[in-house]
A and B are shown apart, each in its own frame.
Chain A
């Protein structure tokens, strides 16, 4: 067993597509929450294999896309400080953001301007860099959903154990359920079924989705990331909708246990607490983020570099033009945006959904820009 190839078997994909066609009798709109799932669906062309009645809405589950522009601007300012080594996942490198109200930066440009920006594959690597560079201030851009937050916590834990006083975390950590509630509870909600993100649930367990399914009377199927996982999740979701049920179901049982991962939750709770959080495109949502607890404020880059934060001035920007907010909530299909492929493309993105490989716009551009006669960037 390899746990990957088996779940990409074309035979099983075919079986699932037949099952889906058999149970579908009417139009349904299903939202996959996670950007990784969006990427998989478009990469494998799974949406092309579904009956025309099924419409997939792409959710806000991309940490790169939802990181608020204020935090991004602060990140640029910190990264441009002398004596700072700024560590980030490579995913964030190309995300455009405002800088001092007049120019748009990304981390490539920050590097070109002299910032020491380093790509890391794990937050623990940033701690290692801090340990080896005691004369430098090392800042890790701790973005993530419930899946990555425990690992960020593990990195804080490591920094604490090592007694590092030069390690800081710029935190922008978000929680799925409150954002999903904001979507499901909105008066123009179109979501009839939800594919919940399997990896988030591997940490948090299935309980939050039992509650959501009941409260909003919407099927919530916890789903994995491989082609057969996604199709099976879609099948289970349609089956529920056709039967008039709205329950939590766990398609991804090989990874997700009902209680989630207690150790990970515990460590996350130790350093972080739930707080109001800004989501790029969605605005501020109560209890939808994880920030540092007060007793660990000395690790918080927002506190450490408070001065940079306060001196900032906001001016209206491209975000008024960019409709990524509507895309993130599934209200606007990327290809229906008037800017898509015209002034907005992966080389000159207007907003985060076009830049992140997980962003719905980038995924559509990468896999679906045909039919509109758009030239490559």
Chain B
């Protein structure tokens, strides 16, 4: 059934009302006319309370995420693509192939059904492209003002394909740090539509699935010790967390970190450092030194990670473990975890 033919608006409802979350006729219509046709699969079609899934052979990975991004639609993506990719990327960072998704929607009374349809459509499209099935879900409606349009919460299940555990404890001295792409695009794309901070730039979010890149590395048997997607807090937070968790010191060469010119310019305008800005399709790989060049070549051949490169290495920590940034003039500075969200500044 085509979404354009959805009879809900025709029956007088072009906006989400509390009744759509009440479990009655309107709730059913919303499911049958918006969610089911978009996500259509055998598990959802059963319209049961839960999904009964076939046995998976390898170990499982599971992850949960909440998505509250504002605005709901931003250059390069929307809350829907973000919800799917965000969960899949968390699985990919464990070396797991994504299998199933569970999604729950909290909708604000008054949300145009057209907007919901657009988001649902982009969720369906992303899920299809990534071969992941949305097997169960839930919808609630809250009074106007109690949420901003819509929140989405997702849980994803994947099957581990990595031969060894991929985690910070696997990191060793001498390992090489590889960044999968240029940074800071998502954060600046979202900021470009924030009230009071608008600018025109053509910057689009890097929002995308990282599994194809990780899968390529696993297929080529690259010795991956750890992976981390560089979402909130950016490269700075990701690198600092890994250094701390592994107990090793990281040295990162600032010059090697790719940043698009317009992204760098937007950061300048707001007094932000790109290494602190959020990404949604970028990861840091910590790999054995012997495999580093091969890892970079494999990534560069993949869609979305063509700019992959080595940005630093892991060394034994003297005292507590830190990340050091080596700057353009040869000087070193220490990175610390940002206190909270990075705020634009005027001074």
A358 CA / B197 CA spacing, docked (Å): 21
Q: Is the CB of A373 within 8 A of B320?
A: yes
* CB closest chain-A residue, reference B344: A90
Contact of A62 among B328, B333, B334, B347 (CB under 8 A): B347
Q: Is the CB of B196 within 8 A of A119?
A: yes
- Beyond A8-B328, A44-B329, whether A367 also contacts B334 by CB under 8 A is yes
Asked if B1 lies at the interface with its beta carbon under 8 angstroms from chain A, I say: no
Q: Is the CB of A120 within 8 A of B271?
A: no
Q: Is the CB of A227 within 8 A of B329?
A: yes
User: A43 contacts which chain B residues (CB < 8 A)?
Assistant: 273, 333
Give a binary string over B212-251; 1 marks a CB under 8 Å from any A CB, 0 the rest.
Answer: 0000000000000000000000000000100010000000
Q: Is the CB of B331 within 8 A of A45?
A: yes
A125 CA / B345 CA spacing, docked (Å): 15
Which residues B152-192 have CB closer than 8 A to chain A? none
User: B340 contacts which chain A residues (CB < 8 A)?
Assistant: 94, 108
Which residues A327-360 have CB closer than 8 A to chain B? 346-347, 356-358
Asked if B303 lies at the interface with its beta carbon under 8 angstroms from chain A, I say: no
Q: Is the CB of B347 within 8 A of A44?
A: no
User: A120 contacts which chain B residues (CB < 8 A)?
Assistant: 196
- Beyond A45-B333, A49-B331, A375-B320, whether A36 also contacts B347 by CB under 8 A is yes
Asked if A162 lies at the interface with its beta carbon under 8 angstroms from chain B, I say: no
Chain B nearest CB: distance from A144 CB in Å?
8
Give a binary string over A359-377; 1 marks a CB under 8 Å from any B CB, 0 the rest.
Answer: 0000001111110010111
Chain A nearest CB: distance from B251 CB in Å?
13
* CB closest chain-B residue, reference A373: B319
Asked if A7 lies at the interface with its beta carbon under 8 angstroms from chain B, I say: no
Chain B nearest CB: distance from A268 CB in Å?
17
Which of B319, B329, B340, B346 has the largest number of chain A CB atoms within 10 A? Answer: B346
Asked if A13 lies at the interface with its beta carbon under 8 angstroms from chain B, I say: yes
Chain A nearest CB: distance from B338 CB in Å?
8
- Beyond A4-B268, A357-B271, A370-B322, whether A121 also contacts B346 by CB under 8 A is yes
Which of B271, B336, B337 has the largest number of chain A CB atoms within 10 A? Answer: B336
Chain A nearest CB: distance from B265 CB in Å?
8
Q: Is the CB of A45 within 8 A of B329?
A: yes
Chain B contact surface mostly: loop
* CB closest chain-B residue, reference A120: B196
Chain A nearest CB: distance from B318 CB in Å?
10
User: B244 contacts which chain A residues (CB < 8 A)?
Assistant: 376
Give a binary string over B200-220; 1 marks a CB under 8 Å from any A CB, 0 the rest.
Answer: 000000000000000000000
* Chain B interface bracket (under 10, 10 to 19, 20 to 34, 35 or more): 20 to 34
Asked if A10 lies at the interface with its beta carbon under 8 angstroms from chain B, I say: yes
Which of B270, B273, B327, B345 has the largest number of chain A CB atoms within 10 A? Answer: B345
Which of B196, B240, B273, B328 has the largest number of chain A CB atoms within 10 A? Answer: B196
Which residues B302-347 have CB closer than 8 A to chain A? 319-320, 322, 327-329, 331-334, 336-337, 339-340, 343-347
Chain B nearest CB: distance from A202 CB in Å?
14
Asked if A63 lies at the interface with its beta carbon under 8 angstroms from chain B, I say: yes
Asked if A35 lies at the interface with its beta carbon under 8 angstroms from chain B, I say: yes
User: B336 contacts which chain A residues (CB < 8 A)?
Assistant: 365-366, 369, 376-377
A365 CA / B336 CA spacing, docked (Å): 8
Contact of A91 among B196, B240, B337, B346 (CB under 8 A): B346
Asked if A275 lies at the interface with its beta carbon under 8 angstroms from chain B, I say: no
User: B329 contacts which chain A residues (CB < 8 A)?
Assistant: 10, 13-14, 44-46, 49, 227
Q: Is the CB of A63 within 8 A of B328?
A: no
A375 CA / B322 CA spacing, docked (Å): 9
User: A370 contacts which chain B residues (CB < 8 A)?
Assistant: 322, 334
Which residues A8-37 have CB closer than 8 A to chain B? 8, 10, 13-14, 35-36
Q: Is the CB of B347 within 8 A of A89?
A: yes
- Beyond A370-B334, A376-B336, whether A91 also contacts B319 by CB under 8 A is no
- Beyond A42-B333, A45-B329, A90-B344, whether A121 also contacts B197 by CB under 8 A is yes
Asked if A155 lies at the interface with its beta carbon under 8 angstroms from chain B, I say: no
User: A44 contacts which chain B residues (CB < 8 A)?
Assistant: 327-329, 331
User: B337 contacts which chain A residues (CB < 8 A)?
Assistant: 376-377
* CB closest chain-B residue, reference A348: B339
- Beyond A373-B320, A376-B240, whether A90 also contacts B343 by CB under 8 A is yes
11 contacting pairs across A/B (C-beta < 8 A): A13-B329, A45-B331, A46-B329, A63-B347, A108-B340, A121-B197, A144-B347, A369-B334, A375-B320, A377-B337, A377-B339
**Chain B positions near chain A (C-beta within 8 angstroms):** 196-197, 240, 244, 268, 270-271, 273, 319-320, 322, 327-329, 331-334, 336-337, 339-340, 343-347
| Known contacts A43-B273, A125-B196, then 15 further A-B pairs from the complex at CB < 8 Å, ordered by chain A residue | A35-B347, A45-B332, A46-B331, A63-B347, A108-B340, A118-B196, A121-B270, A122-B196, A358-B347, A366-B336, A367-B334, A368-B333, A369-B334, A369-B336, A370-B322
For the complex of A and B, the 8 pairs showing the least CB-CB separation, nearest first, are: A45-B331, A90-B343, A346-B339, A367-B333, A48-B331, A376-B336, A120-B196, A89-B346
